[in-house]
Amino acid sequence: MIKNILSRTALLVVDMQNGFLGENGGMAKLGFDSKLLQKAIPGCVELVQIARQKNTPVIFTQYLYEKDFRDGGIQVEEIFPGIKEVGLCAIGSHDSLIIDELKPKTSEIIIEKNRPSSFYSTRLETYLRSQKINNLVICGVTTNICVETTARDSAQRDFGTYVVSDAVAEVDDFRHTISLKALEHMFAKIVTVKDVTETWLKKNS
């Protein structure tokens, strides 16, 4: 049991969108195997279900670019211009939507972002502080980009940070493994879906 996540804890579901996970999404069009990212879906679904059952706040992030990608910066303009070419996660597109299996409830918070960190230029930290949340359980995609960047920023803000190893995924197994190893060294506790759900099921609703 992970005692620290019994209270003042939120579940953060990172970028579980059609553009990353869909077989016809932007990532697939860029030549990446979306099936590897789909490995995160069952774990995320289970975590969301138990969190809702036990009244643990669920927060979703949504990676969004302007339709003309003018907000993409160096990532789109120089590092990965293919993002613009395939229209990955452009506002209003099918790519941008959170997958049906994890459709947020109207009462749940969605954090819109256009950089890997869920904290960068978003209202996430303000919301967490206002709700007196001290711990974040993180799941979603991709392990070594948005999940890792978010986890590092979470730890640097002194939130207890827990990354769920079997509810995050990457298009490269080596990067997935190395990312989790790097996070475990200084920034986050690496846990499993079973670790988290067994703890939450011990909570009073």
Q: Which two tokens stand for residue 177?
A: 């493994």
pLDDT of residue 3: 87
DSSP of the chain, one letter per residue? --GGGGSSEEEEEE--BHHHHSTTSHHHHTT--HHHHTTHHHHHHHHHHHHHHTT--EEEEEE-B-TT-TT-HHIIIII-THHHHHTTTBTTSGGGSBPGGGPPPTTSEEEEESSS-SSTTSSHHHHHHHTT--EEEEEEE-IIIIIHHHHHHHHHTT-EEEEEEEEEE-SSHHHHHHHHHHHHHHT-EEE-HHHHHHHHTTS--
Read off the CATH number of the domain in which 156 is found.
Answer: 3.40.50.850
pLDDT at 128: 99
Over its C-alpha atoms, the chain yields an Rg (Å, rounded) of 16
Q: Considering the domain boundaries, does residue 205 fall inside one? A: no
How far is residue 142's CA from residue 44's CA, in Å, rounded to a whole number?
A: 13
Instruction: Please state, rounded to an integer, the average pLDDT across all residues of the chain.
Output: 97
Residue span of the structural domain in which 194 resides: 3-200
Read off the pLDDT of each residue in 68-89 and give the average, rounded to a whole number: 92
Q: What is the pLDDT of residue 95?
A: 97
Examine residue 60 and state whether it is found in any structural domain, yes or no. Answer: yes
Lowest model confidence (mean pLDDT) among 61-70, 77-86, 164-173 = 77-86
Res 80: pLDDT: 86
In a domain, 189, yes or no: yes
128-163: b (≥16 Cβ within 10 Å) or e: beeeebbbbbbbbbbbbbbbbbbbbbbbeeebbbbb
Q: What is the largest CA-CA distance in the chain?
A: 50
> What is the model's pLDDT at position 29?
95
> What integer is the mean pLDDT of 31-57?
98
Percent of the chain residues topping a pLDDT of 70: 100
CA distance 81 to 149: 21
- Is the per-residue pLDDT at 205 higher than 60? no
48 in a structural domain: yes
Count the domains in the chain.
Answer: 1
**Predicted TM-score (pTM) of this structure:** 0.97
124 assigned to some structural domain: yes
pLDDT over threshold 80, residue 155: yes
Q: Is the pLDDT of residue 134 over 70?
A: yes
In this prediction, residues 16-23 reach a mean pLDDT of: 98
Lowest-pLDDT range of 74-78, 146-150, 178-182: 74-78
Region 121-130 average pLDDT: 98
Which whole number is the average pLDDT over 59-63?
99
